[in-house]
Structure 1
Amino acid sequence: MHYRQLGRTGIEVSEIGFGAWAIGGDAWGEVDDATSLRALERALELGVNFIDTADVYGDGRSERLVGQAVRGKRERVILASKGGLMGHHRDPKREPVYDTPEKVIRAFEASLQRLGTDYLDVYFDHIWWDKHEETEAFLAAFTRLKAEGRVRAVGVSTDSLEHVQHFNQHGGLDVVQLDYSLLNRRSEAGLLPYCEQHGIGVVVRGPLRMGLLSGKFSAQTRFPEGDIRKDWPREAWFQESLGKVERLRKWVGPGQNLSQLALRYVLAHPAVSAAIPGAKTPEQVEQNVGASVRPLLDEELLESLRQAVA
């Protein structure tokens, strides 16, 4: 496993982390807690030290599992969680919910309790749309939590450059979590260069485009009830993406697979600190970790991959 600095925070993270959304069991089909724990344990065995979760994943189920997995190992793990959607996912109107620092801090403390820790290494605002009241509440709460030593670094999960700039208005934003993959390169135009320029750590979610870049899906794929991808096969963009994935296969080298090639693509960007592909089983963890190799990808191959998905 290779490790990188998380922006200017001084925190060193494994370049392949563990994205813990799927083990929450509320969006990616059925999961088994015992298998999820084995996946987390395998990740730690293989050198993964960065685990990313959120309060809303399974209404706290993911955080509780992560807390169980890191018990007795907390000092070895860089633990990140996110707050801001728990109060919104039952409120389709998206009215301000976290409109005071106190509400943000209460959500933070609830995450600490589920995770079984008294501090977080990274805490993200999980609200990806720009609600002025909530943005200001998070900024004030972040200042307080950092001053108290209960969080080492703060960030925002968003794909909006404007939102990031607002969060960084006083230069205090440490980390951005953003959607980036071979099938979604929009952040290359503005958000990634901004983070690199300002020394902001970048955590990549969706590096496999919710499994599309695993190469396991086809036009006949059907997703089960409870899977957020259930309607994908009926959508034109899904069929188009399958064609792009097929064009990428020719660039998969000996001893690697398509997922690892896709992960190496995002890791090759100089602004990226870590990628957090999801995993529900030890086997998926082993496949993800296999992308942390050297050399990564040279510029000629990177350009070939870009052309393949253009």
Structure 2
Amino acid sequence: MEHRALGKSGIQVSEIGFGAWAIGGDAWGPVEDSASLSAMERALDLGVTFIDTADVYGNGHSETLVAQIIKGRRDQIVVASKGGLMGHHRDPQQEPVYDRPEKIIAAFEASLRRLGTEYIDVYFDHIWWNAPRETEAFLTAFAQLKQEGRVRAVGVSTDDFAYVQQFNQGGTLDVVQLDYSLLNRKAEQDILPYCLEHGIGVVVRGPLSKGMLTGKFSPETRFPEGDVRHNWPQEAWYQTQLDQMEQLRVLSSANRSLGQLALQFVLNHPAVSVAIPGGKTPEQVEQNVQASIRPLLTEQDLRQIEIVTPGART
């Protein structure tokens, strides 16, 4: 497993991490806690040192599962969590939910209790709103939590460049978490270059585009109720992306699956610190971790990718 610096934070992380949204059990179809724990255990065995969760994943259930894994080896694992969406009404006609630092600190402390730890390595504002008062409240809370030593680094989880700039207005933003993949290269236009310029670490969520980039879906695939992908087969873009998968499949081989190609693609960007694919089983984790090999991609690979899914890289 290769390791990278998380921007200017001083934290080192495995370049493949573990995304713990799916193990919350409320958004990705059926999942057994025993399998989730085995998946995380296997990830650590294979050199993964970065686990990303949030208070909204399974209404806190993901954090409680992560707590079981980090117990007794807390100093060996970089734990990231997020706050800002729990119970958020997102109604512009109502008062913001997280409009005061003390509310944010209360949410942070609730995450601490679920995680069974005295500190969180990376704490993100989980943005899905547009309220200046919340931005200021988070910045104030972040400063306090860092001063108290209860967080090592702070960041925002967003795909909005304006939010990133707002949170870095004092140059204190350590990390950005964003959606970036072979099928979504928008971040190459602004956020990734900005982070590279300012020494901001980048955590990539969605590197497998919710499983699409594993190449295992087809027009006949059906997703269960409660799965965030339930309506995908009825969407117009679904077949387009399936076609793109077939065009990219020529770059896979016995030694590199399509999913591993997708992970290597995001790791190939110089701004990226760590990719956090999800994993509900040890077998999925093993597939993900095997993407951490060198060389990542050849010039021929990149030329073919540019034909199929053109982006904004320079």
Which TM-score bucket, shorter chain as reference? over 0.9
The Cα RMSD (Å) is 1.0
Among 79, 82, 91, the residue aligned to 1:93:
91
Q: Percent identity?
A: 66
Q: Does 1:4 align with 2:10?
A: no
The Cα of 1:121 is off from its aligned counterpart by 0.5
Report if aligned partners of 2:90, 2:129 keep a CA contact under 8 Å in 1. Answer: no
Worse-matched range after superposition: 254-263 or 116-125 = 254-263
1:1-310 → structure 2 map (5 Å cutoff)? 1-88=1-88, 91=89, 93=91, 95=94, 96-310=96-310
How far did residue 7 of structure 1 move?
0.2
* Deviation for aligned residue 1:174: 0.2
In 2, the alpha carbon distance for the partners of 1:215 and 1:304 equals: 17
Asked whether the equivalents of residues 129 and 158 of structure 1 are also in contact (C-alpha less than 8 Å), the reply is no
Once the two structures are overlaid, the 10-residue window that deviates more, 123-132 or 178-187, is 123-132
Q: In the alignment, is the contact (CA less than 8 A) between 1:181 and 1:266 conserved in 2? A: yes
Check conservation: 1:29, 1:226, Cα contact below 8 A: yes
Quote the Cα distance in structure 2 between the aligned partners of 1:92 and 1:147: 30
2:9 is paired with a residue whose SS is coil
Q: Is the 8 A contact 2:4 2:13 kept in 1?
A: yes
Deviations 1:179-206 (Å, cap 9, x if unpaired)?
Answer: 0000000001111000000000000000
Partners of 1:241 and 1:4 in 2: how far apart?
31
TM-score between the two structures when normalised by the length of structure 1: 0.98
Instruction: Report if aligned partners of 1:248, 1:309 keep a CA contact under 8 Å in 2.
Output: no
SS of the residue corresponding to residue 8 of structure 1 reads helix
CA contact (8 A) 1:247 1:309 kept: no
| CA distance in structure 1 between the aligned counterparts of 2:118 and 2:48, rounded to whole angstroms | 21
- How much does 1:92 deviate? 5.0
Q: Secondary structure at the match of 1:222?
A: coil
Whole-angstrom distance in 2 between the partners of 1:137 and 1:147: 16
SS at match of 2:80: strand
**3-state SS of the aligned residue for 2:209?**
coil
Counterpart of 1:87 in structure 2: which amino acid? G
State the Cα distance separating 1:127 from its structure 2 match: 1.5
Deviation per residue, 1:133-160 (Å, 9 max, x gap): 1111100000000000000000000011
Separation in 2, partners of 1:123, 1:303 = 37
Give, in whole Å, the separation in 2 of the partners of 1:81 and 1:107. 11
CA deviations on 1:2-23 (whole Å, 9 max, x unpaired) are 0000001110000000000000
Deviations 1:97-148 (A, max 9, x none): 0100000000000000000000011000001333211111100000000000
Q: 164-173 or 94-103: which moved more?
A: 94-103
CA distance in 2, matches of 1:145, 1:248: 45
- SS for the counterpart of 1:44 is helix
Question: 1:238 offset after TM fit, Å?
Answer: 1.1
Q: Deviations over 1:248-269 (max 9, x none)?
A: 0001133110000000000000
How many residue pairs match? The answer is 308
Larger deviation, residues 208-217 vs 130-139:
130-139
Provide structure 1 residue ranges, at least 5 long, that are not aligned to the other structure. Answer: none
Give 1:93 deviation, angstroms: 2.1
Could you tell me which runs of 5 or more consecutive residues in structure 2 were left unpaired when the two chains were aligned: none
